[in-house]
């Protein structure tokens, strides 16, 4: 058979593996196998490509592949589950950088070799380096914010939107200039102007990536990571247009679509538009606060909390970023098991934006051996939350803030929340009465049926566990 035809078929097979792999991710039972199926697709794609290569610099290739694999494998093995958002953020960036390098390398090869370069290819190269560049530096900033290397607060300065708009216009002008000058007839005299324009475009994309990510606060990072995830796919897709390869286009757009859907899910879960997340500097000190809620919070001791939980028949845990920060997931699982032995029904209700990336809490609780059947979503709990005897809120704040339902002036107004204030009793584990990330006071703390258990979440839960064991 014609080898080129055979390779085409292999690429189709690889794409089918990716599609089935993603399809199997729709259930926790098949998800792990799905990941393996997708990995096999990748192996097929790589091996197929290797057979097509005529002039291979094996030494370089092997060094690159071995170093990359070793770094990847080490990171995958060593990363803590609480640090998953940082790692995914960083990997998005590497994906973008890799695509950028592919685009640049292809341009250089055409330029140095005086090959024919048509408009289609120059546009594709430009898109690859721009998307890849924004993804790379944007992800580095996201990584820095999530891991605490950079201050997680939104960084705002005067005329920020003006600067960004100016930069965007500059990039558009550069792009047009590059596409107009970058085409080459075969064997033609090559000009250095388009190359300079390309390098300036890459640098501008780097700056844009930084500037567009710094005004976004730490708790809005789930949205940003989803968006960057999408970009890294689109960069790979654009690289597919550069080399005219369908498998890159298919897989790149699958990832692009995935990131876009997750982005829209996150935005909907916060009842905010993407533009609001990206440009408003939400959670900065200047953001509007809700009308200062008055009232008295009712602090309780672990003894009181123990008595309430001991009598409860229906308990819902509501974890948030605070649980991850305190590394309390194992203690929470232990408490949940003791409550079950005590005859209570125990569920864990997870808000889509809890934590620093979508599904973050699920992974932490899975790590602590909580079976996935008891991890539920707000629509599973809210309709009959009056039946819940005790709702335990662990380090979550904005996602349980009743101001979303009660106060039209609150920045959280309209956000779908977990309505723990309607449960029989609500115990809030928290360090202090400080408002959550959004900088919005939480009237939940002052409700009649709310009790505050102040202190480190892990310490509080651990002492509850030991009371149950006595």
Q: Which 416-455 positions form the footprint of another protein (CB under 8 A)?
A: none
CB of 322 to another protein, least distance (A): 18
Distance CA 382, CA 376 (A): 11
Question: Which residue shows structure tokens 């196998």?
Answer: 33
CB of 24 to another protein, least distance (A): 10
- Counting contacts by CB under 8 A, is residue 69 touching another protein? yes
* Cβ closest to another protein, residue 71 vs residue 307: 71
Nearest to 85 by CA among 280, 363, 350: 363
Which of 220, 398, 407, 421 is the catalytic position? 398
Candidate ranges 88-96, 167-175, 310-318, 460-468; the one touching another protein (CB under 8 A):
88-96
Distance CA 240, CA 106 (A): 12
What is the x/- site pattern for another protein, positions 252-281, by CB under 8 A? xxxxxxxxxxx--x----------------
Q: Specify whether 407 is catalytic.
A: no
Residue 270 CB-density burial (10 A; 0-12 exposed, 13-18 middle, 19+ buried): buried
CB of 46 to another protein, least distance (A): 6
CB of 446 to another protein, least distance (A): 30
Q: What is the H or E stretch that residue 451 is in? A: strand 450-454
Neighbours of 237 (CB within 10 A): 23
Q: Which 220-249 positions form the footprint of another protein (CB under 8 A)?
A: 225-226, 229, 232-233, 235-237, 239-249
DSSP state letter for 72: H
Listing DSSP states for 254-285 in one string gives HHHHHHHHHHHHHHHHTT--HHHHHHS-TTST
Residue in 10, 82, 86, 98 binding another protein, rule: CB under 8 A: 98
* Cβ closest to another protein, residue 76 vs residue 387: 76
Q: What is the H or E stretch that residue 428 is in? A: strand 425-430
Candidate ranges 171-179, 352-360, 399-407, 421-429; the one touching another protein (CB under 8 A):
352-360
Residue 453 CB-density burial (10 A; 0-12 exposed, 13-18 middle, 19+ buried): buried
Residue in 1, 2, 5, 77 binding another protein, rule: CB under 8 A: 77
CB 259 within 8 A of CB 193: no
- Counting contacts by CB under 8 A, is residue 2 touching another protein? no
CB of 375 to another protein, least distance (A): 5
* Cβ closest to another protein, residue 375 vs residue 427: 375
Candidate ranges 202-210, 290-298, 349-357, 392-400; the one touching another protein (CB under 8 A):
349-357
CB of 28 to another protein, least distance (A): 5
In terms of residues, how long is the chain?
Answer: 470
CB 7 within 8 A of CB 46: no
Candidate ranges 49-57, 161-169, 181-189, 442-450; the one touching another protein (CB under 8 A):
49-57
CB of 333 to another protein, least distance (A): 11
Residue in 33, 80, 313, 431 binding another protein, rule: CB under 8 A: 33
- Counting contacts by CB under 8 A, is residue 121 touching another protein? yes
What is the Rg, in whole angstroms, of the alpha carbon atoms belonging to the chain? 26
Distance CA 314, CA 76 (A): 38
What is the x/- site pattern for another protein, positions 356-395, by CB under 8 A? -xxxx-xx--xx-x-xxxxx-x------------------
Q: Find residue 393's DSSP bridge partners.
A: 318, 428
Distance CA 224, CA 328 (A): 26
Q: How far apart are the first and last CA of the chain?
A: 74
* Cβ closest to another protein, residue 407 vs residue 419: 419
CB of 341 to another protein, least distance (A): 15
What is the x/- site pattern for another protein, positions 182-211, by CB under 8 A? ------------------------------
Distance CA 64, CA 69 (A): 8
CB of 50 to another protein, least distance (A): 7
Residue in 6, 9, 64, 185 binding another protein, rule: CB under 8 A: 64
User: C-alpha angle with apex 245: 227 to 252, nearest 5 degrees?
Assistant: 15
Distance CA 139, CA 214 (A): 11
Q: Find residue 388's DSSP bridge partners.
A: none
How many residues of this chain bind another protein (CB under 8 A)? 118
Q: Which 147-176 positions form the footprint of another protein (CB under 8 A)?
A: none
Candidate ranges 93-101, 275-283, 388-396, 455-463; the one touching another protein (CB under 8 A):
93-101
Distance CA 466, CA 283 (A): 37
Active site residues: 398
């Amino acid at each position: 058979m014609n080898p080129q035809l055979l390779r085409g078929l292999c690429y189709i097979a690889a794409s089918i593996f990716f599609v089935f792999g993603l399809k199997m991710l729709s259930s926790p039972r098949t998800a792990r196998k799905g990941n393996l199926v997708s990995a096999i697709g990748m192996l097929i794609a790589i091996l197929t490509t290797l057979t097509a290569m005529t002039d291979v610099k094996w030494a370089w290739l092997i060094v690159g592949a071995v170093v990359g694999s070793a770094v990847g494998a080490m990171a995958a093995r060593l990363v803590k589950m609480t640090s998953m958002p940082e790692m995914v953020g960083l990997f998005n960036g590497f994906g973008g950088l890799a695509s950028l390098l592919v685009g640049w390398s292809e341009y250089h090869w055409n330029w140095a070799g005086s090959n024919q370069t048509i408009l289609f290819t120059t546009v594709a190269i430009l898109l690859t380096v721009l998307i890849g560049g924004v993804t790379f530096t944007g992800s580095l900033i996201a990584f820095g914010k999530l891991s605490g290397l950079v201050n997680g607060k939104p960084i705002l300065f005067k005329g920020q939107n003006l600067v960004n708009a100016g930069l965007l216009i500059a990039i558009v002008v550069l792009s047009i200039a590059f596409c107009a000058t970058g085409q080459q007839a075969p064997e033609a005299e090559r000009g250095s102007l388009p190359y300079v324009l390309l390098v300036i475009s890459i640098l501008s994309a780097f700056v844009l990536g930084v500037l567009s990510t710094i005004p976004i606060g730490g708790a809005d990072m789930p949205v940003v990571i989803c968006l960057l995830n999408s970009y890294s796919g689109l960069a790979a897709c654009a690289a597919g247009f550069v080399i005219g390869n369908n498998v890159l286009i298919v897989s790149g757009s699958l990832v692009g679509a995935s990131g876009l859907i997750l982005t829209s899910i996150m935005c909907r879960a916060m009842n905010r538009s993407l533009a609001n997340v990206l440009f408003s500097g939400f959670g900065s000190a200047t953001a509007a606060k809700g009308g200062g809620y008055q009232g008295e919070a009712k602090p309780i001791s672990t003894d009181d909390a123990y008595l309430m939980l001991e009598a409860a028949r229906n308990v819902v845990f509501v974890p948030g970023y605070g649980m991850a920060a305190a590394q309390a997931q194992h203690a929470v699982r232990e408490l949940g098991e003791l409550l079950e032995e005590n005859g209570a029904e125990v569920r864990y209700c997870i808000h889509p934006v809890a934590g620093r990336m979508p599904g973050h809490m699920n992974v932490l609780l899975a790590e602590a051996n909580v079976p996935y059947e008891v991890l539920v979503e707000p629509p599973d709990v809210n309709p009959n939350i009056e039946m819940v005897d005790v709702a335990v809120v662990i380090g979550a704040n904005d996602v349980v803030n009743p101001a979303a339902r009660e106060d039209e002036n609150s920045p959280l107004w309209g956000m779908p929340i977990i309505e723990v204030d309607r449960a029989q009793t609500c115990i809030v584990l928290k360090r202090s009465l400080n408002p959550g990330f959004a900088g919005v006071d939480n009237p939940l703390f002052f409700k009649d049926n709310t009790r505050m258990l102040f202190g480190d979440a892990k310490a509080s839960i651990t002492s509850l566990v030991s009371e149950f064991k006595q």
